[in-house]
Structures are given as C-alpha cells and as structure tokens.
C-alpha cells in the first residue's frame, strides 16, 4: 500500500513541477507593443519585426504599429524595412517602444537601371548617377528633366520658362555638331522626349554617363542615356495604398534683366541727337526730319501720332470726323495718342502665371503580383499673355507571377497635352527669333500706347517708328491662334520565363503612338507699318508610331567566391513611321474655328508628308565577373545596323570594358575603420551616334520646279517640257559618329556613411562628326549639300560629388550634397580641305565659327579695343572701313596695318566650363528644410538683342534702350556703353560681329528653398490619413550675374547657334504650396 502512495506522490510531484514550470514559462512570455516611424514621424507599414534568436516575428500595420511576444527582459528586437537602416532594440522592462528608422541613403544601396538589367551600385564598374523620387516633389514644372539641373555631376541642363517646352540636356559635353540629345528610356521603351511624363509617377532616374554604363545601347548612347523607372506597386497582401499629391503656385514675371527703355521724350531727344551726329559725320547742315518730333532743335511730342494720317498732329483735332471715319472703316482708321508716361511693353505682355498639379496614385498587390495606377492633371500659365500648357495623363503598371517560372507585366501611359501660344522666342537665329514676342517688347517704342482712342490695338501705322509689331496684339489673338494638341500612348508588355534557377528569358514589345493637331488663325491687321492685308488660316495634323522589340537571356551563377552574370540580347526598333498633312489659305469665310475649313479659303495650299522612320537591328551581350565581391570585371559589346546609312557603312560594332577593385575588402584595410567602403573603377568603350543625319542622306533627291526644270526642248517658245533637277546630293559613304570614352574614378564612404565621395576623371573623343558642308560655287548646282564626316571633337572633364550627413543634435539632422562638374570642349581635327565651319547668321552678322582648338559654337568676330575718340585717332589707326569718331575701333590682330576679315578672332565660348549645385537639407522633428543653389560659369553669351536697342541706325525709329544715354561722347570716351548715336550702319557700327555683343554668362541662382511639415499621424489618422505633409517652396528666388539680358540661362535652337540671346523666354521666380497625402 505504501508503494502505491509513494507512486501517487511521485507522480503528483512531477505533475506539479511541470505545471509550475509551465506557469513560470508563461509568466516570462509577455506582449510588447510599439510603433515604427520614419524621420518624418510618420508610421511605416510593412516593417519586419523579429525577436532576435527566435522565429517569433510580425510586421507593422498601415500605421506602423505592431505587437509581439517576448520571453525575457533581455530580448532584442530586430527592426528592418526596405530602404531603411536596420535597427536593434533591447526590450528590457518596456511594455511599449517607439522606434525611428533612418533611411538608407547610402549610394551603395542604390540600383542602376537600364532597359535590360538592374545592377546594385555596390557592384557596378560604371559611371552612373541616380536621382530618387523625393527629389521630384519640389519641382513645380511638368518638365521632369529639370530635376537633373545641378543634381547630377556631368549633366548640363538649360531650360527656359515657357510651359510645355523641353529642356536642353547635355551629358558630359557636346559630342557632335547636332543631335546631342541623350537617349531617353522609360520603362525599357526608347522615347524621343519626356514631355508626357508626370513627376509624380517617377520612382527613380538613372543617368548613364560613360561607355561602361551606356554602351549596352551602342549606336544611340554616345550622348549618354537617361533611364526613367516609374512606380510599380508592391507585392504581398497589404491594403491598397492611395496617395494624393497636389501643388498650387504662381510665377512672377519680374526679372532683373527686363529691358530698360528710353522714355518717349528721351527717345525724341536722342533721335535729334542722332541727326546732329549724322550732320557732323557727313559735314552737312542738321535736318530734323522725324515725322513725329518736329523740325526744331528741341524735340517735342505731337498731340497725336496718327490721326487720319501717318504723320504727327499738333493742336486740336476733329474727333467727330474721326469717329465717323472709324465707323465707316474701322480697320484703316486710327487715333493714336502718344503715351507720355511711356508704355512698359515687357510689363504689358507679361502676367503672374498660375500653376496647379494634381496626382492620384493607387498601388497594391498580392502574393503573386503588384500594380500601380497613376492619374495626373497639370495646368500651367506662362508669364506671357495667352500662353498656357495643359497635360492630363493616366498610367497603368502591373506585374504578375504565373506560377513559379513565368512572370508577365505591362507599363502603359496615355497622355493628352495642349499648348497655346509658343511665340516667346527659342534662342534661334533668323526670322523665327527676329519675330519673337519678347524681342518685339524691346523693339516697340514706348511712346506708342497699347490701344488707340477707339479701343483698337495701336501699332506702327504712325510714321517714323519702323516695323515692329504690337506684342500685346500678337499675344491676345492667341485666344484662338497658335493652338497645339497632342495625344500620346507609350508602353510595353513583357514576359519573363525562368525555366531553371537564375536563368531568365525575357521578351518585351513596346511602342509610342503620337497624334498631333494644330490650328492657327491670323487676323488681318492694317495698323502696322508692314500690314497684314488678309486674314489667314492654317491647320494640320499628323501621327507616328514607333516600336521596339527586345529579347534577352540573362544568367547568373555563384560558385564559391566566383560570381558570374551574363546577358545576351537581340533588338529591333523603328523610330517612328507616320504621316503629316497641313493646309493654309487666306480670307476664310468665318473667324469661328468650328466652321472654318480649308475648302472655304482663298489660295489654298496643301502639303503632305509620309515618313518611314529609321530602322535599327541590334545584337548585344554583357558579361560580369566578380571574385569574392572584391574584384569586378565587365565586358559589353553591341552590333547595330541602321537604315540611316548606305550599305557599306550600315553596321557598327561598339565594345566596352571596365573593372573595379573594392579596396576595403582587402585585409590590410581592416586597420582603417574610418573608411567604410572604397571602390576604384575604370573603363574604356565606344558608343555611336546617328542623330545628326537625315535618313535620306544616302540618296540623291530630284524634284520639279517650273523656273528650273521646264525647258522648250523643241525650241518652240509657246510651250515647255517638264524635266527634273537634282535637289540634293546624296552621300552613301557617310558613317557612324563614334565616341571613344575613358573613365577613371572611385566611390568612397567614410565613417559608416557620414561622408560619401564619388569622383570621375573622364575623356570622350568623338570622330567622324557629320556636318552639311556648303558646296563651293564651282559645283554649279542648286542642289543642297549632304552630311559628310568632317571632324573630331574632344570633351574631357572631372565630375565629383560629396555628401555629408549627420546629427547636429539628437533631433536636428542634416544632409549636405555638393555636385561639381568641370568640362573642356574642343574641336581637335578636320577632314582635309576644311579649316573651319560656320554657324547661323543673323541680320548679316555671322557670330559663330568652329575651328581646331576651339569649342563648338564659338563666338568669332572683331575684337573691340575702344572707340575712335578723335579724328586724329581715325587717321593714325590701322585703316578700317567705316571708321569715324565715336565708332568701334578694332584690334589689328595680324599686324598688317589694316582691318580686314582676317583680323576677326575668337571671342569666347558659350559652353560652360563649370556647373554645380549645393543642396542643404535639415530635418527637425516633423519639419524639413531644403535649400538648393545652382551655379554655372566659364561661358559667354552673345546678346543679340543689343543690335536692336543700342544702335540708332538699326531699325531707326524703333524702341531703344537706356544705354543710349551712355553712348559715346567726347566726355565719356572709351568708358561709353555704346557707340556714337547715329544712323550709319557699317562694319564699324552695327554691321559686323564683334566683341561688344559678348558678355559673361556666369551666374549663381538660389534655385529652391522649401519648408515641409509632416503632420503627426496621431492627428492625421483621425481623418483616415496615414501620412500628410505640407510644403511651401520658392524657386529661382535670386540670380547673381553680370549678364544684362533677361536670363543668363541661354541655350539655342541648334548646337551650332548655341548661346545667342534673341529674346529668350526667361526663367522667373515661382512660389508654390504642396500637399502630399497617403491613405
């Protein structure tokens, strides 16, 4: 019996111990709750919470909250999320913990994206830069390219303030005489421009700068490649994420370089000064002959500039008779009273322009897929009257796994754009620039009012003011004039198959469809000195479709310390096949565009153009090898064929090789803990360019024209037989422009990411540059010249970026980013028989000349060394055509005692030798402050607007600038700001290109300052909002420059007429308020 009791007691004791043990164990398990936020104090969803050393874990909810069980006070929780630095927290006795995760901003964590592959920057041997989505949030323009200005070393960006226009982007200089635009890739699809993109849809931007990075694109990569990746959504069963981004703002038209013009009385007085100077130069009596300012020595303004006649009227007028005449003929009757206070024409044509942008984003996914939908609307008014831009877009991106081995996806965007009024000037040469509305504001005399007494537009119908046009009238007619519309669809579909592990076969087909339409109605107007005698109407439309078909096979393999990646591909594409048709005519029966048709106009002209685009066929391959993540080698080769060239030069082969050494992986670096990471890299390669040649350049073209190709072969004068003439000479021997690049650089991180330095020393030599060399007269033909390979150009420079980040206090964080680029551009060789090439001409002035040792689009002309201050100086100086007292005095460069065209010399380059930017970011609790300064230096600007405003003799009677008051007098001498005020126009005055037009183009611009506030989630969550951020920003606040024009950021209509200011649309101050919401 005892034995039974003993057994029972032992069993009971064992059971008690087990129960007590389990209670003890249970007592050690407890719940710990918490919240994970970012530096903006907003909750981060989807963060991994793992109890270190166990399998226990969870993820944060949509508000960043979590709850997890731990077993002891010594438990350590590891908290990690993509894009953030992992943090570990010891629980201790805490029941609730709050954790702030810092973004992993190290560049080594970034990825380099091409259309074919994704590479971790840590492993890359190439020179590439990445701009993240957050940098776009402060960009007020719909032009996504503007994000790159000063933010990417080696990229020069010049933009103007006109809504809806593209920026000029040059990656590491100018590699050709034209066609220097980089290749744009959007989600793997090559596109001609990025004006359809919404900044709120962009996830990241990658700039491929050297051959190691860009040669995978071969024949199209010589000018660099810019790859845009749009948002994708996220995998996993997470709630649908909805974002709203809104921006409201406005643009101030006032700029420091706005034209300062003579007042009406000053213009009259200085007109008489010119007449006296004319008489002195010609040795004749003074004749005050201006039809408005009277015939006495003291100039006076009339009562009316035009009143039933073109000459000025003084005294009383018969207004009743004038009213009757106006009622009978309103188009030819004017009563133009002088504006005695003076019309500020720049103020009259500009306004405070408003901007608004709204974007909705929907992203989500499942365990097998993800998607993103983006809707965007932007409306922007330009600073010019009746100039506005609208864009509406919808983007649909998705990707899904079909089982374990197949993935399908698509990226698709639809965009509708409209631009009204594009007459602000584009920096071009010739008539287009001459007729810009902004330049008209310089040319229009201030004495003329905007409207006459009858309410009609006033202009130069009154005699004595030459031929400028009222720019307000030109712009106001844009209410139905100069309207341009574009509908665009771009995207691709793809399939990826992974038949075995790490072998991925991908096939993608994409394209871009464009449909455009324009309509213009120009009113009859008889109020100008050169009247528009008829109403005119024109309209046109066109379409194009570009496509690309890419197929790649990628494989990666890791064996012990050896890592191998290989990629092979085949691609074919067409740059755009389509058709355009347009028509025009005069005197349509209606001014209502809803009723006007081309078959109801007089003198109709219809033209049609069918184009087939350019075909490319390419094979390419890439191989990457690394040993122990210490030594890296990459080889790339691409073979491209293009229909732009004849059969003998149709194909080009473009190889590249690069290597990198991760020095910090070596044993000897372990004693240098301050150097967190150091990678030295170098590369060589070749890339091609064919943008600068017409696809039909290989063919001779023939045409028919009555004055050339009709001839009475039978000798009878009563008739003529039709023939053909050669309109252009073909060149089937033209070949690719080829850029050979060399790059040496390093990427370094110090003190665990507190400091980062990226440095590149590079050179790019481009040979076989194409140019249309004018045919000599002895050829005896009217045929236009073909593009021929004529030159070699070199670009070389240094790019470096420095980043410093850290904490000033526990709550005040900072990040300082400095980007610097130094560039030298020069032509190093010409083909035999060619010594120089010239650019465009303007009003008889040819300011551009390109020669060996000089940069592209260099300024060329006579060097002004002062003025002729006396008749004795005119006599003693080297002989100079048109020399006279008060006129320009030129340097005798060759010392032959006379001034001839051989004395013209190099006057400066429009290519900046330095560009850079400094960005300072401060974060304090929920506040963010960002300040950004951009600088450009080392270039000159040709201020062609001075040709109109600073010479009395150029369009005599038109508006003149205040520099007239500092024009040459004996007292001012060589300190005068302009030559003597007179009518003469010759090479010693306004008739020749000279250094007087050339000004320093250096400037520093306080480009952006923004203050953001992240509303704490404890407040926003009550409204169902996960994140809310408010931002106030100001852009282009201050510009420091010596340049006297509107804006020192001067580009050009062509690379061979770069840096010439003919009334360009300026970049001005803007102020914005933005809100970013996440649901």
Nearest to 101 by CA among 88, 82, 87: 87
Nearest to 745 by CA among 684, 672, 793: 684
The per-residue pLDDT for range 839-854, each reduced to its tens digit, is 877 888 889 999 999 9
Residue range(s) in the chain whose domain bears CATH number 2.60.40.1120? 26-100
Assigned fold of 26-100? Immunoglobulin-like (2.60.40)
Three-state SS for 443? helix
Give mean pLDDT, residues 145-153.
79
- CA-based max dimension of the chain: 154
Residue range(s) in the chain whose domain bears CATH number 2.170.130.10? 107-238
- Which one has a higher pLDDT value, 105 or 331? 331
Identify the pLDDT of residue 619: 96
At 350, is the pLDDT very low, low, confident or very high (cuts 50, 70, 90)? very high
The per-residue pLDDT for range 667-715, each reduced to its tens digit, is 898 888 899 999 999 999 999 998 888 888 888 888 776 556 556 666 6
The per-residue pLDDT for range 398-428, each reduced to its tens digit, is 999 998 899 999 999 999 999 887 644 443 3
Give mean pLDDT, residues 631-648.
94
Identify the pLDDT of residue 286: 94
Give mean pLDDT, residues 832-840.
89
The per-residue pLDDT for range 1008-1020, each reduced to its tens digit, is 999 999 998 888 8
CA 764/CA 224 separation, integer angstroms:
11
Enumerate the β-bridge partners of residue 743. 683, 762
pTM higher than 0.75 for the full model?
Answer: yes
The per-residue pLDDT for range 697-707, each reduced to its tens digit, is 888 888 776 55
Percent of the chain exceeding pLDDT 90 equals 54
At 515, is the pLDDT very low, low, confident or very high (cuts 50, 70, 90)? very high
Joined together, the tokens standing for residue 234 give 């996220």
Identify the pLDDT of residue 331: 83
Identify the pLDDT of residue 8: 47
Assigned fold of 107-238? Ferric Hydroxamate Uptake Protein; Chain A, domain 1 (2.170.130)
CA 985/CA 978 separation, integer angstroms:
14
Identify the pLDDT of residue 1: 45
Q: What is the mean pLDDT of the chain?
A: 87
Give mean pLDDT, residues 182-202.
91
Give mean pLDDT, residues 43-49.
78
Q: Is the pLDDT of residue 62 over 90?
A: no
Could you give the C-alpha distances from 1003 to 339, 774, 946, 1008, in angstroms and in order? 36, 37, 20, 15
Identify the pLDDT of residue 301: 95
Burial of 223 (0-12, 13-18, 19+ CB in 10 A): buried
Lowest mean pLDDT among 154-158, 912-916, 988-992: 154-158
Cα-trace Rg, the chain: 35
How big is the chain, counted in residues?
A: 1079
Percent of the chain exceeding pLDDT 70 equals 90
Burial of 603 (0-12, 13-18, 19+ CB in 10 A): exposed
- Which one has a higher pLDDT value, 69 or 244? 244
Q: Is the pLDDT of residue 855 over 70?
A: yes
At 356, is the pLDDT very low, low, confident or very high (cuts 50, 70, 90)? very high
Three-state SS for 342? coil
What's the helix, strand, coil split of the chain in %, to 5? 15, 45, 40
Nearest to 835 by CA among 790, 786, 795: 790
Identify the pLDDT of residue 285: 93
The per-residue pLDDT for range 8-32, each reduced to its tens digit, is 445 544 544 444 444 444 445 678 8
Q: Is the pLDDT of residue 765 over 60?
A: yes
Under 8 Å between Cβ of 638 and 211: no
């Amino acid at each position: 019996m005892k034995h039974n009791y003993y057994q029972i007691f032992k069993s009971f004791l064992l059971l008690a111990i087990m129960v007590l043990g389990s209670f003890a164990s249970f007592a050690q398990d407890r719940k710990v709750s918490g919240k994970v936020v970012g530096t903006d104090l907003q909750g981060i969803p989807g963060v991994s919470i793992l109890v270190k050393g166990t399998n226990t874990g969870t993820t944060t909810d949509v508000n960043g909250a979590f709850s997890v069980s731990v077993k002891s006070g010594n438990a350590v929780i590891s908290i990690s999320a993509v894009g953030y630095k992992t943090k570990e927290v010891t629980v201790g006795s805490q029941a609730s913990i709050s954790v702030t995760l810092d973004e992993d901003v190290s560049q080594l964590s970034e990825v380099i994206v091409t259309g074919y592959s994704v590479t971790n920057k840590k492993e890359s041997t190439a020179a590439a830069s990445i701009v993240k989505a957050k940098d776009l949030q402060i960009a007020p323009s719909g032009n996504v390219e503007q994000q790159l200005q000063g933010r990417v070393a080696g990229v020069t960006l010049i933009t103007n303030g006109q809504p809806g226009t593209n920026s000029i982007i040059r990656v590491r200089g100018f590699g050709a005489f034209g066609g220097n635009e980089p290749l744009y890739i959007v989600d793997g699809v090559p596109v001609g421009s990025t004006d359809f993109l919404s900044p709120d849809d962009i996830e990241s931007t990658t700039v491929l700068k050297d051959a190691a990075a860009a040669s995978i694109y071969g024949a199209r990569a010589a000018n660099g490649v810019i790859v845009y990746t749009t948002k994708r959504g996220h995998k996993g069963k997470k709630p649908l994420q909805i974002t709203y981004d809104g921006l409201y703002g406005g643009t101030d038209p006032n700029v420091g370089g706005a034209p300062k013009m003579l007042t009406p009385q000053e213009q009259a007085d200085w007109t008489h000064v010119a007449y006296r100077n004319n008489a002195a130069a010609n040795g004749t009596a003074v004749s005050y002959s201006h039809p408005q300012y009277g015939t006495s020595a003291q100039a006076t303004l009339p009562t009316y500039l035009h009143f039933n006649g073109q000459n000025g009227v003084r005294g009383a007028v018969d207004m009743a008779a004038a009213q009757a005449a106006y009622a009978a003929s309103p188009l030819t009757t004017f009563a133009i009273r002088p504006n005695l206070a003076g019309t500020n024409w720049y103020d009259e044509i500009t306004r405070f322009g408003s901007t608004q942008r709204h974007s909705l984003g929907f992203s989500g996914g499942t365990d097998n897929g993800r998607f993103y939908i983006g809707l965007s609307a932007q409306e922007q008014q330009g600073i010019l009257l009746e100039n506005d831009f609208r864009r509406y877009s919808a983007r649909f991106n998705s990707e899904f796994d079909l089982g374990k081995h197949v993935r399908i996806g698509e990226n698709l965007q639809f965009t509708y754009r409209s631009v009204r009024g594009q007459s602000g000037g584009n920096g071009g040469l010739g008539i287009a620039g001459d007729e810009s509305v902004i330049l008209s504001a310089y040319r229009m005399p201030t004495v003329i009012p905007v409207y006459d007494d009858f309410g009609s537009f006033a202009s130069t119908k009154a005699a004595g003011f030459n031929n400028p046009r009222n720019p307000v009238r030109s712009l106001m007619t844009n209410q139905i004039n100069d309207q341009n519309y574009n509908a665009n669809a771009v995207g691709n579909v793809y399939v990826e198959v992974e038949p075995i592990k790490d072998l991925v076969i991908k096939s993608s087909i994409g394209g871009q469809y464009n449909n455009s339409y324009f309509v213009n109605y120009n009113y009859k107007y008889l109020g100008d000195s050169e009247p528009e005698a008829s109403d005119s109407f024109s309209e046109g439309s066109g379409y194009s479709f570009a496509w690309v078909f890419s197929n790649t096979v990628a494989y990666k393999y890791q064996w012990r310390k050896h890592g191998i990646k290989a990629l092979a591909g085949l691609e074919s594409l067409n740059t755009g096949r389509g058709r355009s048709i347009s028509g025009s005519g005069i005197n349509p029966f209606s001014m209502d565009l809803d009723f006007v048709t081309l078959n109801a106009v007089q003198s109709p002209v219809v033209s049609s153009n069918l184009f087939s685009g350019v075909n490319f066929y390419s094979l390419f391959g890439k191989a990457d090898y690394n040993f122990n993540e210490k030594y890296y080698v990459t080889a790339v080769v691409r073979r491209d064929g293009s229909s732009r060239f004849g059969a003998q030069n149709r194909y080009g082969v473009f190889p590249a090789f690069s290597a990198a050494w991760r020095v910090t992986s070596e044993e000897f670096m372990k004693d240098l803990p301050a150097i967190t990471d150091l990678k030295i890299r170098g590369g060589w390669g070749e890339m091609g360019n064919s943008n600068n040649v017409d696809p039909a350049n290989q063919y001779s073209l023939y045409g028919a024209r009555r004055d050339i190709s009709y001839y009475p072969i039978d000798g009878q004068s009563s008739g003529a037989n039709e023939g053909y003439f050669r309109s252009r000479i073909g060149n089937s021997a033209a070949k690719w422009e080829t850029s050979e690049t060399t790059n040496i650089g390093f990427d370094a991180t110090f003190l665990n990411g507190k400091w980062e330095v990226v440095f590149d020393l590079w050179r790019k030599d481009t040979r076989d540059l194409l140019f249309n060399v004018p045919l000599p007269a002895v050829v005896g033909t009217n045929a236009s010249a073909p593009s021929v390979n004529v030159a070699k150009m070199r670009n070389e420079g240094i790019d470096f970026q420095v980043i410093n980040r850290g904490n000033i206090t526990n709550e005040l964080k900072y990040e300082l980013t400095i980007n610097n680029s130094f560039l030298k551009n020069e032509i190093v060789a010409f083909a035999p028989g060619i010594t120089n090439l010239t650019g465009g001409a303007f009003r008889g002035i040819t300011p551009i000349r390109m020669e060996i040792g000089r940069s592209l689009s260099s300024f060329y002309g006579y060097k002004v060394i002062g003025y002729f201050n006396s008749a004795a100086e005119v006599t003693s100086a080297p002989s100079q055509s048109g020399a006279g007292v008060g006129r320009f005095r030129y340097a005798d460069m060759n010392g032959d005692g006379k001034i001839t065209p051989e004395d013209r010399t190099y006057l400066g380059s429009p290519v900046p030798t330095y560009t850079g930017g400094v960005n300072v970011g401060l974060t304090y609790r929920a506040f963010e402050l960002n300040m950004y300064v951009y600088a450009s230096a080392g270039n000159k600007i040709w201020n062609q607007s001075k040709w109109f405003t600073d010479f009395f003799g150029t369009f005599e009677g038109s508006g003149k600038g205040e520099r007239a008051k500092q024009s040459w007098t004996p007292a001012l001498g060589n300190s005068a700001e302009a030559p003597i005020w007179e009518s003469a126009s010759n090479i010693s005055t306004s008739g020749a290109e000279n250094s007087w037009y050339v000004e320093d183009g250096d400037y520093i611009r306080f480009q952006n300052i923004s203050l953001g506030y992240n509303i704490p989630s404890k407040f926003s969550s009550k409204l169902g909002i996960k994140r809310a951020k408010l931002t106030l920003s100001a852009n282009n606040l201050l510009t420091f420059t010596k340049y006297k024009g509107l804006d020192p950021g001067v580009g050009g209509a062509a690379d061979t007429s770069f840096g010439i200011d003919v009334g360009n649309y300026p970049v001005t101050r803007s102020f914005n308020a933005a809100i970013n919401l996440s649901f």
